[in-house]
Amino acid sequence: MGLKVYGMPMSPCTATVLALLAEKGLDYELVPINVRAGQHKQPSFLALNPFGQIPALKDGDLQLFESRAITKYISYKYKDMGPDFMRTDPAEVAGVAAWMEAEAHHYHPAIGPLVFECIFKQMFGGAPDEAVVAAQAEKLGKVLDVYEETLSKRKYLAGDFFSLADLHHLPYTHYLMCTPHASLITSRKHVNAWWEDISSRPAWQKVAANMRFN
């Protein structure tokens, strides 16, 4: 039994897992879960993730949910397949962990609602709430000022190596670049260079090509 990812290619959290699998060159089956049709709230999917959100993973007898837990599991288990995105040196491991936390607790709360307003809400026929958009753009700008300072000293978030910390920024930033707020990235020299670097990775390009939202 191989790896099975339950989700949708256009879902940012699913795309993160697919990006890692592509980087590692691992074979997997993508089991489509149609969120629009509410499949993620059906008992068969709730058995995989009781919180009813995609993605989920099956690897033999192991079942897992939460994209950040899934990418850590894949990185540990398939350490010898492709690059090691979690490192082994304790200081580097800690740096990757710190920037994964920064993504989860600073970057994501700022960019997630912005992408929701500008991309996902419109998919369902809604208009962006401009007050929310402005507040989230300001919040994201402040987070990106910290990133700019960090990335002026090193090439990637946790050091001079691409890691899971960088990888977790790919899907939401990809969508941000399709909104009128791409300048949040492009106006910051070091953030922009980092984005151009990580988003041009061949593995990511393959995953991004399937993230069609219109």
**Interface with ligand GS8 (CB under 6 A):** 11-14, 35, 40, 52-55, 66-68
Report CA-CA distances (Å) from 115 to 7, 13, 199: 19, 13, 17
- Least distance (Å) between residue 160 CB and ligand GS8: 27
d(CA 201, CA 31): 25
d(CA 3, CA 58): 6
- Least distance (Å) between residue 80 CB and ligand GS8: 25
40 vs 181, beta carbon nearer ligand GS8: 40
Q: Residue 192: is it exposed, middle or buried by C-beta count within 10 angstroms (0-12/13-18/19+)?
A: middle
49 vs 163, beta carbon nearer ligand GS8: 49
116 vs 194, beta carbon nearer ligand GS8: 116
65 vs 161, beta carbon nearer ligand GS8: 65
Could you tell me which of 91, 95, 107 has the C-alpha nearest to residue 158? Answer: 95
- Least distance (Å) between residue 183 CB and ligand GS8: 24
- Least distance (Å) between residue 71 CB and ligand GS8: 9
6 vs 147, beta carbon nearer ligand GS8: 6
Report CA-CA distances (Å) from 211 to 77, 144, 206: 27, 24, 10
7 vs 159, beta carbon nearer ligand GS8: 7
- Least distance (Å) between residue 40 CB and ligand GS8: 5
**What DSSP designation does 183 have?**
H
Could you tell me which of 110, 113, 106 has the C-alpha nearest to residue 128? Answer: 113
- Least distance (Å) between residue 211 CB and ligand GS8: 11
